Amino acid sequence: MQRLFPFLLYGLSVCADGSREAERAGPGGDVSSEAPPMERIDRPIRRVMTEEKVVALTFDDGPDANCLHLLRLFKEQQVRATFFLIGNRVEKEPDIVRALHAAGMEIGNHSYTHANMKDLSPEQVREETLQTQAALQAVTHTAPRLYRAPYLQYNESLWEVLTELQMPAVNASVDSTDWVPEITAEMIFERMTTNIQSGDILLMHSWSGKTLEVMPRILESLREQGFQFVTVSEMRTVGEDGFIGR
Ligand SMILES: [Zn+2]
């Protein structure tokens, strides 16, 4: 019999990340009166090490109209996913962002202009990151807790900003490659449903019509394999961060 994932019953607030805080504080540490020490962030999370039958579906580059199609499907099927959004689009499409947030989807920072951070000055990297935090905070009244780099490209300036914000970077363990023109919808379906393991983070793009087309079948197949769909932050509370894809 399949165990119900606790968040689906109680919601995120009950499962505040107590275990991690305790670990950071160390033996005898008093979490309530001491701020946790700054953790250096300098490599992306690729998966979560867990035995729970959970996966995290992630969608980059929104908000866009396809997000609303995905949202309708996810609401019907009680799926929670994570959307990494681009700051300047957040400002143009705040209603879509609000709808995602209101439905319990996790929203992460995917830079302000989708530039490759390796091409930018330290000041620009900082600006790209903070402007998007501010844009999302203004719309959802919540500070995003996760970052995904455009093109999954990092540099020292970016690690510095992420460390300051204590905001982990998230890559993925399974890439749909739905951004490659030659990839067919069927190939995306195969990639997203074959050899999927507990704790996998699946990378897709909301603008991909092919991904949208096969999403109902992806959900059906992964469900049949026993998986539940949670946000990346929810998944991080049931296992350690994994830094190697597979
Ligand atoms: Zn992107």
C-alpha 128 to ligand 1 mean position (Å): 13
As residues whose CB is below 5 A from the ion ligand 1, the structure lists 60-61, 150
What tens digit of pLDDT does each residue of 176-229 get?
Answer: 999 999 999 999 999 999 999 999 999 999 999 999 999 999 999 999 999 999
Distance 176 CA to ligand 1 centre (A): 13
Digit-coded pLDDT (tens) for 121-145: 999 999 999 999 999 999 999 999 9
Total-model pTM = 0.86
CA of 168 to the centre of ligand 1 (A): 16
Report yes or no on 145 lying in a domain.
yes
CATH of the domain at 208: 3.20.20.370
Over residues 47-104, the pLDDT tens digits come to 999 999 999 999 999 999 999 999 999 999 999 999 999 999 999 999 999 999 999 9
In a domain, 100, yes or no: yes
Whole-number Å distance, alpha carbon 212 to ligand 1 midpoint, is 16
Report if residue 154 sits inside a domain: yes
- Among the listed residues 168, 245, 152, the one whose alpha carbon sits nearest the alpha carbon of residue 200: 245
Residue 28 belongs to some domain of the structure: no
64 C-alpha to ligand 1 centroid (Å): 13
CA–CA gap between residue 54 and residue 197 (Å, rounded): 8
Q: How many A from CA of 90 to the centre of ligand 1?
A: 14
Residue 35 belongs to some domain of the structure: no
Query: Is residue 174, in this structure, part of any structural domain at all?
Result: yes
Find, among 102, 72, 56, 49, the residue nearest to 204 by Cα. 56
> In sequence order, what E strands does the chain have?
47-49, 54-62, 82-85, 106-109, 174-175, 201-205, 228-229, 240-242
31 CA → ligand 1 middle, Å: 36
Number of domains in the chain: 1
Range of the domain at 73: 44-242
Is the residue at 65 inside a domain? yes
CA of 10 to the centre of ligand 1 (A): 32
Structural domain contains residue 192: yes
